[in-house]
Structure 1
Amino acid sequence: MCAAVVGSLSIACGIATSASAAEPRLMAALGNTVLTMTDIGPKHTQVAVNDKPVFDDKESDQLSFVGAYSMKDRWIALFQSDTGAKDCPTRFRILEVGGPQPTVSYPFGSCSDAAQVTIDNDTLTVSMPQPGGGADAAWTYRNGRIGRSK
């Protein structure tokens, strides 16, 4: 079991065992909102905000919490899904909390797990290498939408 407090973000995590399969693997306080990740079964992880499910990942071998980022009056959580696929082993999703309802992005990424996050005012950018080299690829999240920016 682990726990950490960074600014106004509190994180607790652990590994669920078969006896406690319904116990959250991760709990994070994002301001006044509590985010949980619970392993429901094989290839099934549920993400909930204040005990209300907002996303069920039933495709990934493993869903991981990458980090949480404060942007003005809301929080952005970044998740990494390890798909197990040889052609594209990793994808990302963004969960925004703080608005009227939590918003989950569609999967994005260049299939690399080497993501770097930058924030500029109300814009979050996730950059990562492209397969085969070349310039990095980037996706920008702004106003509830994710789009490829380079």
Structure 2
Amino acid sequence: MCAAVAGSLVIATGSVQAAEPRLMAALGNTVLTVTDIGPKHTQVSVDETPVFDDKESDMLSFVGAYSMKDRWVALFQSDTGAKDCPTRFRIVEVGGTKPLVSYPFGSCSDAAQVTIDGDTLTVSMPVPAGGGDAAWTYSKGRIARSR
């Protein structure tokens, strides 16, 4: 790479390298990778194929991976930085014909608890405004609020 500056030739050496993965996890026969591409840009890949680009969160964190019969489900937490709802969650499912990515969900609390019953995963958390708790159920590629 070179550039002309005020009649002088300035030569900068170095190579442009791809971003290094922040996390690599083996989920069965599948490799899940989380890579920080740039500020507010995190990419989730399955077997080196990008399946989700988060371009809204300050930080996308891997919460955990859960085995559900013949599939794996990875739970991610996105820290949005917003005062009204600082945290949301998202699920990436692998092991089927193609990876599935859920819509963002959650009560804006970061205190998630996960339970698994057969091929159903439930994520429960308190509701910061108004008290009580809420839950979202993930089954067969779909996320839905269950309470």
Q: How does 1:92-131 map to 2 (within 5 A)?
A: 92-131=89-128
- 1:141: which partner in 2? 138
Residues 17-65 of structure 1, C-alpha deviations (whole Å, 9 max, x = no match)? xx97610000000010000000000000000000000000000000000
Count residues in correspondence.
132
CA distance in 1, matches of 2:119, 2:88: 23
Partner of 1:80: 77
Residues 21, 41 of structure 1: 8 Å contact kept: no
Distance (Å, rounded) in 1 between the aligned partners of 2:77 and 2:43: 13
Find the structure with the greater CA-based Rg: 2
Runs of 4+ that moved beyond 4 A: none
- Quick check: 1:22 aligned with 2:19? yes
Once the two structures are superposed, what CA deviation does each residue of 1:44-94 show, in whole Å capped at 9, x if it has no partner? 000000000000000000000000000000000000000000000000000
2-side partners of 1:133 and 1:118: how far apart?
24
RMSD (CA atoms) = 1.2
Write the distance in 2 (CA, Å) between the matches of 1:133 and 1:85. Answer: 19
Note the alpha carbon deviations across 1:82-107, whole angstroms, 9 max, x for none: 00000000000000000000000000
List runs of 5+ in structure 2 lacking aligned partners. 1-15
Give the alignment's TM-score, normalised by structure 1: 0.85
The aligned amino acid for 1:37 is V
Alignment partner, residue 5 of structure 2:
none
Deviation at 1:115, TM superposition (A): 0.2
- Structure 1, gaps ≥5 residues long: 1-18
Tell me the distance in 2 between the aligned counterparts of 1:51 and 1:105: 19
For residues 130 and 21 of structure 2, the distance between their equivalents in structure 1, rounded to whole angstroms, comes to 38
- Alignment-derived partner of residue 52 in structure 1: 49
